[in-house]
Structure 1
């Protein structure tokens, strides 16, 4: 099956974003001097935009809703061919309940992109601070202390399910880096990326839509960690690590969600209750979509039965297999380079 053009465009975009992060060494800026962060991000954006005008035009191209949805379906179907065996079998870490097993096996578009971002987050986490047993915050340098406190700005309600605060620091820094890269990509294409980081929905059963500024998700945190505090903080609210809209040129709301992806790094806790919440949100999306289009216009007149796909992406177990442009297993050393034109 041919891979849709938008999928290759997003692969090139993430390659460029990762390269920019490496060149400007944003993690070192965060670690040693918080004040350098915004300046380096803006420099990285300017460099990418200067060198990748054609790619930006391709991603920003006017594609109608139905054409883009068809591309998402094609990319989703192709995902089955690049899943690792541990993913297909839903085995290993966290696979204890049928709900989580289904989420592990769920086909999603852009698995390669998610894998690349998580690889980078694993190599270059936001900060390298680890609180030793018995150590106190006063033992940290001023800049490191500021970074640490801002990362932990989620507050006690967000930390309640973490048993080991030392583990939390390590895990959150990787997730934060992944979210920053996805947000960076979205910003580069003027908030028209099909990958939206930290999409926050209000408490159930209604699950209020994420606050938005056009197609940009509203953030309330500082630039170093814009995702916390969350816009919705009530008990039962959900913040998906990654949301994929049906159509990226319209705001991410319950009637415009194709998939929700929860990313778990190696030491993250995987809990069934979180995926029960995502299942309820998916059901709510189905009702909203049915109300919007009417039952008569759905297949068999039964209404929308699947509001959105719910996926669990465990890193590194669920990384995509390496593949070349023709969809075949990639030979050792082969890799698609950023900026290379693909065949149409």
Structure 2
């Protein structure tokens, strides 16, 4: 009897270890009716004046004039500003796990490091982490046909754009310096301390454009890869990874600017991401659709203490997906 109990105990421990070492792959498709906070589209502006608002949605400056012109032979139009849901970013533990496609396991036969959490030798209780991430094109307003014949919306359907598993720079700090050599300038106590101001600004509005090396309350933007120096919760780490991946895409010229005076006539190169041009909404594992002070979208860098509470749970709730709302200024009539 004792031997049988010992065998069962060992078998149970082995099964638990295997389960712990092999992350699960779960997810769900985005439901536009229940999983999206549509108030994040607002405010809609005409020139520098709000045209439509809903709740206390935050906004950045818009081109002041309601009239605009584009083209070699100038075409006059109206300057419209709004927040367009156009991208989706997911942060996962298991390589090739497509959370936003219902938990599809896209096994390509190419090995990639799994997510991990590290403890420090000094035993101070702080540990690091590592995650993979994916980017989707998801122009929700276009494929839902919410507004027809509106030239300022990105056309298309859901499409997988970027897999960090196929990026050799995502798991190597030294290789990442190829894209961001300026990171060595900000690896000092003074630059890190300045991020406290970015955290305060992001928690009350938008982060500070001038502190481009800071990710607000999530810490530092560099290195532009999947390594998190301090893992203080899955939501916080996922928010940091999302910022870094988008900053990386801007540096690789795979993501462009769509806002401001320069964006009225189309997208433009923006190799250093303007973090004030984005708001995110958590859509998985628990959609963040509840209004917090009239808002359910968060600018990059905002503290996750309030809006991220209760959004993570074991096994099925340790991967995360964010719908990305980007600021769009457009010359309608061009």
Q: TM-score, normalised by structure 2?
A: 0.23
Q: TM-score, normalised by structure 1?
A: 0.23
Whose helix fraction is larger, Structure 1's or Structure 2's? Answer: 1
Whose strand fraction is larger, Structure 1's or Structure 2's? Answer: 2
